[in-house]
Amino acid sequence: MVTTIQLQPETKSRLDDMKLHPRETYDETLNRLLDMAYDPEPLSEESMKKIEEAFEDIRAGRVRPFEEYVREQDL
């Protein structure tokens, strides 16, 4: 089955720019982009907790510049 969709010219231009090669179809391009945008495996509760803790650290000012970390690690 084939479906027609309406796109603004700017959207079509952006979609054209996203093609990996000129012969890639819009269907292939859209599916590739959708696969990149959607992760069917949600984050674990542990990961979500660590992310929230990191946000709390940032809000509380418990951060340091990346350059400082690099110097400490001799990177």
Question: What is the residue range of 22's domain?
Answer: 8-40
Q: Does 58 share its domain with 72?
A: yes
What pLDDT, on a 0 to 100 scale, did the predictor assign at position 36?
A: 93
Tell me the Cα Rg of the chain.
21
d(CA 65, CA 68): 5
Q: Is the dihedral of CA 15, 18, 19, 22 positive or negative?
A: positive
What pLDDT, on a 0 to 100 scale, did the predictor assign at position 22?
A: 94
Q: pLDDT tens for residues 3-16?
A: 999 999 999 999 99
Q: pLDDT tens for residues 21-41?
A: 999 999 999 999 999 998 889
What domain count does the chain have? 2
Q: Does 32 share its domain with 48?
A: no
* DSSP annotation of 42: P
d(CA 54, CA 14): 35
d(CA 42, CA 46): 11
Q: Does 34 share its domain with 46?
A: no
